[in-house]
Amino acid sequence: MKPEIVEEIKHKYGDRANDSPFERNLYTRDLAPVPALMVDPLFKTMPDLVVRPANEEEVAEILRIAWKENIPVTPRAGASTTYFDSIPVKGGIVMDLNLLRGVVGLNEERMTVTVQAGTTWSELDDYLKRRGLTEKSYPSSAPVATIGGWFCMMGYGIGSLKYGSLLSQVKSAQVVLATGDTIAVTPDTDPPLSWFAGSEGTLGIVTWLELEVRKLNPMKHFLLKMDSVPEMAQVLKEVKDAPVIPYNLHFTDPACVQGMHALGLIPDEVGEGCLLQVDYEGAEQELDQAEDIIRRIVDQHPKVKMMPGEMADLEWEERFKALRLKRGGPSVLGGEVWLPIKEVSGYLADIAAMSSKYGIRFMSYGHVVTPEYVTVMTMFYANEVNTINYMFSLGLTKKIQDVGFRYGGHPYGIGLWNSPYITRIYSRKELAELRERKKRLDPRGILNPGKVYRYPLLFHPFTFGIGANVMAGLIRAAGRGGRR
């Protein structure tokens, strides 16, 4: 980036533009614990400048400069993603969107709220709850994830099973394109709203969204315990297909339950096995009906145990705390798979077999997000202090995705690190269509370059596969995967 452009933006934005190495360095990472050894030689994750626009006009002005000068711009909000989605790989400008914050308006007749893209889901919830309302769905990272960030990712999480994807709840949005032009988008405009959902900041910067809200209803929570994965999968299916749709349906596999015991995160009386958390929201009558359904299912499965109500309530309260398990690490590696529900049993059996093969405990939990799909997070402990061993462990993350792929699954979210799998995620035709959109809206490729559409040369699926297999093989041969 030309020094005079850096100076021009700094001059305009004062203490909201920063090019000090100290500050920029903090914008070179997200949650992904990838060693510098593997990143720095390949990618320029250090931005030349970080700027924090305070409104849509400023977003547009910065983009106009970047467009003119061909400068890469990486949008960043909560940076709670794990695939370097909001990390630059070609330097340039990081646009920190956290100042685009707050509710613009509430329309109780339309039952929609218009909210700036950098507002977190927890902040929006605070606002709505005070008015007897709440969101239809939100990610399980609500304390950090922003409305715009989740929209630009896949948009499935808590509440999606009952209320659908975030895209289906958004009525309209405002987007600043790479050129700096601002457009209003709805499902019927050209380009339509759907283009921007899951676009990971590669097509435009969303500044506000209008989304549906719902009445804040009472809830009922149930926690079921079963001995085996097949029984859990069967009960999960019955719960999901019953006449009352759960708001949230979440399972924990036996290895993950063991991991939670090891850290004292669950009471001893839970014992070994799988857990299934079922949460309902709705009118009292609906909740009573839901309770009848759960009791009937439990009666029909003599081995399924209903855990005390307080445990179910607590599990719900701690729905944002999946990372508690990291205390057993200190590092955690893994992969998230978008998987057909009917394949959960097979997937978890293969993962368990992998645990024996590599002498590593692979722990899985999952959220049912549509009537057909579940997002499964499978993770294992590693120690990044031991760099060489750790790099071998990274090879195992591909093994997780391979098991998912065998069962009709694919990675959830792309960014940089899942780009070798794009042909698993999209068909040839879909990929061509996506590339067309990119060419039309950002022909110079300044918005979040290096993500989503293509893999870097070194990440060619063939070479990437060989590399990952070799690393995983070394872990197995060394037999020091950290058996626990």
Partner 1 sequence: MSTQHENKFTTLEQEALICARCGYCRNCCPVYRVIGWESASPRGKITVAKDLYVKGNKNALSDEFIQRVTQCTLCGACNVVCSTSIDLRELWIELRRRIAEGGKNPKGLQDIRKNILDNKNITTFDNQDRLEWAQDLDDPDVAEPRDGAEVAYFVGCVSSFFPQAAQIPLANAEIFGAAGVDFTTMGGDEWCCGFPLIISGYPDDAREFRRHNVEKIKEMGISTLVASCASCYHIWKYESREQLAGYDLEVLHTTEYLARLIEENRIQLNELDEVITYHDPCDLGRNGGIFDAPRKIINSIPGVRFVELAHHGMDSLCCGGGGNLQSVDPQLAKEITKLRVEEIKETGATIVVSSCQQCEQMLSAAIRETGLPVRVMDISQLILEAME
Ligand X SMILES: Cc1cc2nc3c(=O)[nH]c(=O)nc-3n(C[C@H](O)[C@H](O)[C@H](O)COP(=O)(O)OP(=O)(O)OC[C@H]3O[C@@H](n4cnc5c(N)ncnc54)[C@H](O)[C@@H]3O)c2cc1C
Q: Which of 13, 43, 150, 373 binds ligand X (CB under 6 A)?
A: 150
Contact call for residue 435 and partner 1 (CB under 8 A): no
Q: Which of 2, 68, 326, 357 binds partner 1 (CB under 8 A)?
A: 326
Are 375 and 365 within 8 A, CB to CB?
no
Residue 205 Cβ, how far from ligand X at the closest point, in Å? 4
Q: Which is nearer to ligand X, 140 or 179 (CB)?
A: 140
Are 137 and 214 within 8 A, CB to CB?
no
Are 192 and 240 within 8 A, CB to CB?
no
Please report, for the chain, how many H helices and E strands are present, in that order. Answer: 18, 18
How many whole angstroms separate alpha carbon 433 and alpha carbon 430?
A: 5
Q: Which is nearer to ligand X, 18 or 140 (CB)?
A: 140
Contact call for residue 122 and partner 1 (CB under 8 A): yes
Interface region with ligand X, contact rule CB under 6 A, candidates 11-19, 149-157, 186-194, 233-241 = 149-157
Q: Which residues of 423-448 are buried (b: 16+ CB within 10 A; e: fewer)?
A: ebbbeeeebeebeebbeebbeebbbb
Strands (E) across 120-218 are located at: 133-135, 170-177, 182-185, 204-215
Contact call for residue 397 and ligand X (CB under 6 A): no
Contact call for residue 157 and ligand X (CB under 6 A): yes
How many whole angstroms separate alpha carbon 441 and alpha carbon 437?
A: 6
Q: Which is nearer to partner 1, 172 or 331 (CB)?
A: 331
| Backbone phi and psi for residue 321, each to the nearest 5 degrees, phi listed first | -105, 35
Contact call for residue 378 and ligand X (CB under 6 A): no
The item of ligand X, partner 1, none sharing an interface with residue 468, based on CB under 5 to 8 Å by kind, is: none
Q: Which of 1, 9, 13, 18 binds partner 1 (CB under 8 A)?
A: 18
How many whole angstroms separate alpha carbon 254 and alpha carbon 274?
A: 5
Contact call for residue 257 and ligand X (CB under 6 A): no
Segment 368 to 397, residues that bind partner 1, using CB under 8 A = 384-385
Sign of the torsion formed by the C-alpha atoms of 35, 40, 42 and 46: positive
Contact call for residue 131 and partner 1 (CB under 8 A): no
> If you compute the radius of gyration of the chain from its CA atoms, what whole number of angstroms results?
23
- Beta-strand relationship, 204-215 and 112-116: antiparallel
Q: Which of 14, 20, 356, 477 binds partner 1 (CB under 8 A)?
A: 20
Segment 29 to 68, residues that bind ligand X, using CB under 6 A = 31
Segment 301 to 320, residues that bind partner 1, using CB under 8 A = 311, 314-315, 318, 320
Q: Which is nearer to ligand X, 456 or 467 (CB)?
A: 456
DSSP 132: T
Contact call for residue 231 and partner 1 (CB under 8 A): no
Residue 82 Cβ, how far from ligand X at the closest point, in Å? 7
Q: Quote the tokens at residue 123.
A: 């902040």
Report which residue type is found at 199: S
Closest alpha carbon to 406 in 447, 464, 349:
349
Burial (0-12, 13-18, 19+ Cβ within 10 Å), 46: middle
- Residue span 66-105 as binding mask against partner 1, x where in contact by CB under 8 A, dash where not: ------------xxx---------------x-xx------
Length in residues, the chain: 484
Residue 175 Cβ, how far from ligand X at the closest point, in Å? 8
How many whole angstroms separate alpha carbon 119 and alpha carbon 102?
A: 6
Contact call for residue 149 and ligand X (CB under 6 A): yes
How many whole angstroms separate alpha carbon 349 and alpha carbon 376?
A: 13
Contact call for residue 154 and ligand X (CB under 6 A): yes
Binding site for ligand X (CB under 6 A): 31, 74-81, 85-86, 97, 117, 139-141, 144-146, 148-150, 152-154, 156-157, 200-201, 205-206, 322-323, 448
Binding site for partner 1 (CB under 8 A): 16, 18, 20, 22-23, 26-27, 29-31, 50, 52, 78-80, 96, 98-99, 120, 122-123, 126, 130, 141, 143-144, 223, 260, 264-267, 270, 311, 314-315, 318, 320-324, 326-327, 329-332, 384-385
